[in-house]
């Protein structure tokens, strides 16, 4: 596979740089899931902002124009690279369980899990982290003010945006939950109906909320007027938020996980994301194979077996590291990968039930991603979420803040699957102020000649998508090939290969069935990956937005 080297543009840049001295900058790029958010990032970079300013603008714009994917009432992870310091940092702005949350809060009197409570309405909502994440970026990394960076989003909320096919699909999926809550229905539906493409969504309350966050530097949201309004609204609807839950919220700054796959350095997400560790485990297993020598059906088989083992460990070991001891060193070691790889056969599927059962040691899906690179070489890969489309389908009245249902990412009952079919044991049990385990995997790949800034939404399938495209990158793929890779997935349980529409050819399906794999085809495509690739030799940049979505990428 080869990727386009845009030598001509680079030569022009060098000529301009020589002509104008050091005023000429290298290229910048933004790739996000919505053209209006990509433009917001470009506007801020052109106004003198850096990648971190642009990240604030893009995240806030996505909160407005993709209300089904992420938002001010949600949270997320920002993986940052500061070129000047030469450092990588992980900003954990994940939502947190309210102080009154209990391990059995979604079980009925017979001890059965009541999924509706963890997905819909006020009990499903964890304490939002995104506003605190934006304030952190603003205070520590930005060139421009928070007000300047939030301006494009405030404009989009006030003037409205036109819905597209994706909005129609997502709102259709969540219409019955939205209809139960008048305030949310009024904002996101068209008089109770799913808006057809071309409908203008105006969010005046959200514009005021963003403005209040800008002028108070987030204080209003976490301890002022907005905080009181949100708590009153959640409590009046039967929720358990308290003002101290918001006051106590803070972003956690964590060290990214670092590993390698041959000569490519992997920089990815630490817990409470499960993404980085599962990605590293799978790559460590696959490093033992000369993957280029296999036919595609055996290649897929081996990748699936690596996924199966990495997702098993996810279910068994991972949770919020501030609450449970996660054996990161062991899980990311090459020795652990050797042990896991030793049970893989080239010709036969392992049955998940033959692997050690989780807990035996005892003890959508939506979301969004964007990637940004600025002319100085700073990078941001951010994956943000409110969990399933339109989150808990309720807004905090009078604020326009749509609340997440990230509580469903906890393991509400051991071995009982969550909405993504993921099971977990004690490590991811609900506890007050704990952060639910996530699959969000913003990642940098640093090869000898190229760097990738990448990530995608997609619930439990985020990790397998990042893995497949990372492997493609290792084999020379560029951004457009990476976002277009055919997707297949195995998450240990259920014991099956799930693949997107047309993700496997019929002969691949036949061969994998013969090896003993169970297969399940999705009726649709999934994922919405955003990738930027920097060529280290000439500084040129290439970017792509997943053709399955309606996002856009710009390089200039
Ligand atoms: N809510 C999806 C995730 O964090 O994995």
Q: What is the pLDDT of residues 282-329, one digit of tens each?
A: 999 999 999 999 999 999 999 999 999 999 999 999 999 999 999 999
Tokens of 437: 């385990």
Ligand 1 atom closest to the Cα of residue 94 is 4
How far apart CA 538 and CA 556 sit, in angstroms, is 15
Ligand 1 atom closest to the Cα of residue 274 is 5
How far apart CA 418 and CA 437 sit, in angstroms, is 11
Strand partners, 80: 89, 380
- The answer to whether 142 and 526 have CB atoms below 8 angstroms apart is no
Q: How far, in Å, from the CA of 200 to the mean position of ligand 1? A: 28
Question: So what's the pLDDT on residue 3?
Answer: 37
How far apart CA 267 and CA 465 sit, in angstroms, is 16
Question: So what's the pLDDT on residue 359?
Answer: 66
How far apart CA 405 and CA 304 sit, in angstroms, is 29
Query: Is cis: bond before 494, omega within 30 of 0?
Result: yes
Question: Which residue, 254, 250, 243, is CA-closest to 98?
Answer: 243
The answer to whether 367 is a known catalytic residue is yes
For a ligand 1 pocket test, name from 133, 273, 367 the mutation site with the most ligand atoms within 8 angstroms of its C-beta.
Answer: 367
User: In this structure, how many other beta carbons lie within 10 angstroms of the beta carbon of residue 360?
Assistant: 10
Query: Residues lining ligand 1, CB < 6 A?
Result: 367, 385, 387, 406, 409, 438-440, 459
Q: How far, in Å, from the CA of 409 to the mean position of ligand 1? A: 6
Task: Give the residue, by CA position, lying nearest to ligand 1 atom 3.
Answer: 438
Burial string for 188-210 (b: 16+ CB within 10 Å, else e) reads bbeeeebbeeebebebebbbbbb
Q: How far, in Å, from the CA of 367 to the mean position of ligand 1? A: 7
How far apart CA 42 and CA 62 sit, in angstroms, is 14
Question: So what's the pLDDT on residue 366?
Answer: 76
For a ligand 1 pocket test, name from 387, 405, 461 the mutation site with the most ligand atoms within 8 angstroms of its C-beta.
Answer: 387
Ligand 1 atom closest to the Cα of residue 275 is 5
Q: What is the pTM of this model?
A: 0.94
Question: Which residue, 545, 542, 546, is CA-closest to 556?
Answer: 542
Question: So what's the pLDDT on residue 360?
Answer: 54
Ligand 1 atom closest to the Cα of residue 386 is 1
Q: How far, in Å, from the CA of 144 to the mean position of ligand 1? A: 30
Task: Give the residue, by CA position, lying nearest to ligand 1 atom 1.
Answer: 387
Question: So what's the pLDDT on residue 415?
Answer: 80
Question: So what's the pLDDT on residue 6?
Answer: 39
For a ligand 1 pocket test, name from 75, 320, 385 the mutation site with the most ligand atoms within 8 angstroms of its C-beta.
Answer: 385
Q: How far, in Å, from the CA of 140 to the mean position of ligand 1? A: 26
Q: How far, in Å, from the CA of 483 to the mean position of ligand 1? A: 20
Question: So what's the pLDDT on residue 425?
Answer: 76
In angstroms and rounded to an integer, the radius of gyration of the C-alpha atoms of the chain is 22
For a ligand 1 pocket test, name from 438, 458, 460 the mutation site with the most ligand atoms within 8 angstroms of its C-beta.
Answer: 438
Segments of the chain with pLDDT less than 70: 1-25, 359-365
Task: Give the residue, by CA position, lying nearest to ligand 1 atom 4.
Answer: 438
Question: So what's the pLDDT on residue 365?
Answer: 62
| Catalytic one of 367, 399, 441, 443 | 367
Q: Is 419 exposed, middle or buried (0-12, 13-18, 19+ CB in 10 A)?
A: middle
Q: How far, in Å, from the CA of 405 to the mean position of ligand 1? A: 10
């Amino acid at each position: 596979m080869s990727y386009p080297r845009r030598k001509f543009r680079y030569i022009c840049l060098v000529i301009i740089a020589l002509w104008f001295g050091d005023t000429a900058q290298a290229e910048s790029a933004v790739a996000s899931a919505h053209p209006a958010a990509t433009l917001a990032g470009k506007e801020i970079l052109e106004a003198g902002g850096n990648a971190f300013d642009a990240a604030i603008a893009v995240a806030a714009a996505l909160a407005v124009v993709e209300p089904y994917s992420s938002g001010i009432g949600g949270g997320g992870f920002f993986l940052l690279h500061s070129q000047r310091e030469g450092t990588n940092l992980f900003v954990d702005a994940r939502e947190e369980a309210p102080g009154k949350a209990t391990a059995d809060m979604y079980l009925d009197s017979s001890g059965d899990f009541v999924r509706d409570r963890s997905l819909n309405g006020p009990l499903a909502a964890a304490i939002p982290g995104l506003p605190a994440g934006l304030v952190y970026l603003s205070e520590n990394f930005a060139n421009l003010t928070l007000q300047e960076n939030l301006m494009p989003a405030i404009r989009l909320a006030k003037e409205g945006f036109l819905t597209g096919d994706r909005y129609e699909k997502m709102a259709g999926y969540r219409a019955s939950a939205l209809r139960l809550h008048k305030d949310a229905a009024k904002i996101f539906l068209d008089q109770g109906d799913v808006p057809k493409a071309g409908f203008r969504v105006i969010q005046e309350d959200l514009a005021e909320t963003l403005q209040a966050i800008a002028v108070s530097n987030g204080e209003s949201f976490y301890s002022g007027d907005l905080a009181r309004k949100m708590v009153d609204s959640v409590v009046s609807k039967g929720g358990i938020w308290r003002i101290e839950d918001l006051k106590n919220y803070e972003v956690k700054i964590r060290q990214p996980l670092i590993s390698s796959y041959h000569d490519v350095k992997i920089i990815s997400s630490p817990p409470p994301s499960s993404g980085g560790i599962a990605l590293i485990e799978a790559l460590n297993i696959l490093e033992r194979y000369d993957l280029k020598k296999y036919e595609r059906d055996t290649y897929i088989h081996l990748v699936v077996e690596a996924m199966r083992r990495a997702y098993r460990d996810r279910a068994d070991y991972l949770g919020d590291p501030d609450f449970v001891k996660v054996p990161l060193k062991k899980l990311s070691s090459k020795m652990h990968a050797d042990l896991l790889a030793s049970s893989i056969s080239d010709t036969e599927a392992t049955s998940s039930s033959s692997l050690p059962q989780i807990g035996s040691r005892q003890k959508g899906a939506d979301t969004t991603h964007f990637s940004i690179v600025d002319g100085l070489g700073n990078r941001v890969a951010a994956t943000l979420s409110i969990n399933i489309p339109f989150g808990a389908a309720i807004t905090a009245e009078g604020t326009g803040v749509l609340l997440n249902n990230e509580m469903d990412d906890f393991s509400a009952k051991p071995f009982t699957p969550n909405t993504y079919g993921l099971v977990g044991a004690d490590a991811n049990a609900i506890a007050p102020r704990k952060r639910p385990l996530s699959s969000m995997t913003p990642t940098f790949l640093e090869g000898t000649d190229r760097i990738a800034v990448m990530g995608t939404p997609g619930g439990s399938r985020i990790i397998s998508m990042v893995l497949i495209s990372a492997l493609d990158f290792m084999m020379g793929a560029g951004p457009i090939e990476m976002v277009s890779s055919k997707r297949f997935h195995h998450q240990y349980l259920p014991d099956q290969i799930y693949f997107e529409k047309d993700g496997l050819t019929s002969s691949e399906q036949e061969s994998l069935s013969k090896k003993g794999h169970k297969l399940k085809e999705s009726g649709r495509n999934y994922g919405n990956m955003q990738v930027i690739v920097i060529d280290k030799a000439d500084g040129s940049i290439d970017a792509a937005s997943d053709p399955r979505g309606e996002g856009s990428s710009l390089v200039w």
